């Protein structure tokens, strides 16, 4: 059976595999947009729909404005279709120019990835024969993402939703797309971190555009085995790590801050005086997490926070919307420069709530 699809030209929004239903629910509830699940990792929108900014969507990883469903998956014919689209755009005021790259990818589907990469390879070969000037402006995806970019620079995205369904689009950076392939920015493994969860906190700081500074103070609730405490201390924070269990921190020599471990209950602990940062990755019901965060906010016990909210494996939307409405309620108080949520790349069945005081 063929996978579902929209008309040949539409907008496509990408997410983590298995979260397209949640993305559709989010679009309907918070943006009044009717999306269609195209696969486990993508949602389609009608061409007439105004696509919300990427950063305002919790479950979205990447956007593909005006994406086109490839008619013929034979690589040479698919490449010719992309060239034709470039020729059409060249006649308009939104003609692509500047440096560019290709993102050919899928979301955890090897057959779909192979199909996308074959098309990308054929397109580069075709371009070398037909447009050497454009080809000379090509940059490797890693170089493109790691160096200074201009709004006129653009990306050709070739996304394999399945081995039988491939979309492509051509977007300048002015459209708000992520400069990372598939919207995925992997964090480097934190040195000596006892768990992969340390990457979640590093990614959260990157999303916020802010991280702790030297001699900040912080509390890590449910700290064991200690990954989040290490990330805070690496940035110079003096951390109080709250957990009845042992921390597994082998070395502190590379940490600019300090870590003090208290064997107390993370659900009940409150600091003697306000701290700069609250972080929490405790494994508990999402409603409990929000209750803890609410107590900290109402008591002015911290300035900024990063708190992970676990979602149930089944019927996740009610818990997700509870967390998102929590953020919306506090946003309306005007006390926050930023407060929101994101399903980060390093998140699994959870979302990360973040806040920075005004």
- Residues 160-189 have pLDDT tens digits of 999 999 999 999 999 999 999 999 998 887
Q: Does residue 255 register a pLDDT over 90?
A: no
Give residue 134's pLDDT band: very low, low, confident or very high (50, 70, 90).
Answer: confident
- State yes or no: pLDDT of 28 exceeds 80: yes
Is pLDDT above 90 for 250?
no
Give tens-digit pLDDT for 115-131.
Answer: 999 999 999 999 888 88
In the predicted model, is pLDDT for residue 323 greater than 60?
yes
Q: Which whole-number Å values give the CA distances from 167 to 9, 54, 81, 175, 275, in the listed order?
A: 9, 19, 11, 18, 48
Residue 152 appears among annotated catalytic residues? no
Residue with tokens 């699940």: 37
Tell me the mean pLDDT in the region 23-38: 96
Sign, CA dihedral 139-144-146-149, equals positive
**In this model, does residue 107 exceed pLDDT 70?**
yes
* pLDDT tier at 71, thresholds 50, 70, 90: confident
Q: What is the pLDDT of residue 95?
A: 66
pLDDT(3) > 60: no
pLDDT value of position 93? 59
Contact present, 316 and 33 (Cβ < 8 Å) = no
Res. 231: pLDDT tops 90: yes
Res 7 pLDDT > 60:
no
pLDDT class of 5 with cuts at 50, 70, 90: low
Task: From the candidates 118, 200, 310, 319, give the one annotated as an active-site residue.
Answer: 310
What's the pLDDT score for residue 253? 65
Instruction: Please provide the average confidence, as pLDDT, over all residues in the chain.
Output: 92
Q: Span 9-183: which CATH code?
A: 3.30.2130
Domain boundaries, the chain: 9-183, 198-357
What pLDDT shows up at residue 249? 85
Q: In what order do the strands lie in the sheet with 154-162?
A: 36-39, 42-45, 9-14, 62-69, 165-172, 154-162, 100-106
Fold of 198-357: Rossmann fold (3.40.50)
pLDDT in the model for residue 97? 79
């Amino acid at each position: 059976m063929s996978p579902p699809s929209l008309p040949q030209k539409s907008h496509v929004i990408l997410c983590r595999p298995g979260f397209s239903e949640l993305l559709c629910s989010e679009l309907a509830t918070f943006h009044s947009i009717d999306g269609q699940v195209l696969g486990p990792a993508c949602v389609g929108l009608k061409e007439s729909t105004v696509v919300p900014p990427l950063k305002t969507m919790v479950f979205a990883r990447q956007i593909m404005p005006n994406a086109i469903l490839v008619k013929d998956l034979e690589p040479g014919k698919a490449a010719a279709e992309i060239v034709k689209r470039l020729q059409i755009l060249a006649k308009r005021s939104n003609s692509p120019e500047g440096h560019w790259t290709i993102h050919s990818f899928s979301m955890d589907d090897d057959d779909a990835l192979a199909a996308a990469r074959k098309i990308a390879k054929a397109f580069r070969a075709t371009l070398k024969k037909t447009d050497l000037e454009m080809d000379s402006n090509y940059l490797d995806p890693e170089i493109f993402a790691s160096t200074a970019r201009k709004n006129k620079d653009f990306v050709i995205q070739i996304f394999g939703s399945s081995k039988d369904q491939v979309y492509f689009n051509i977007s300048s950076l002015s459209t708000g797309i992520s400069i990372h392939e598939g919207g995925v920015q992997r964090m480097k493994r934190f040195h000596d971190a006892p768990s992969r969860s340390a990457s979640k906190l590093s990614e959260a700081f990157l999303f916020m555009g802010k991280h702790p500074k030297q001699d900040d103070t912080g509390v890590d609730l449910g700290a064991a085995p200690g990954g989040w405490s290490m990330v805070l201390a690496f940035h110079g924070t003096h951390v109080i790590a709250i957990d009845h269990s042992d921390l597994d921190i082998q070395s502190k020599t590379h940490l600019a801050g300090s870590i003090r471990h208290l064997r107390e209950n993370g659900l009940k602990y409150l600091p003697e005086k306000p701290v700069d940062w609250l972080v929490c990755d405790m494994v508990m019901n999402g409603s409990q997490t929000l209750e803890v965060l609410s107590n900290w906010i109402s008591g002015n016990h911290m300035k900024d926070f990063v708190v992970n909210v676990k979602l149930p494996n089944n019927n996740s939307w009610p818990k997700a919307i509870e967390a998102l409405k929590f953020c919306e309620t506090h946003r309306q108080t005007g006390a926050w420069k930023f407060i929101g949520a994101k399903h980060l790349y390093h998140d699994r069945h959870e979302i990360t709530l973040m806040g920075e005081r005004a």
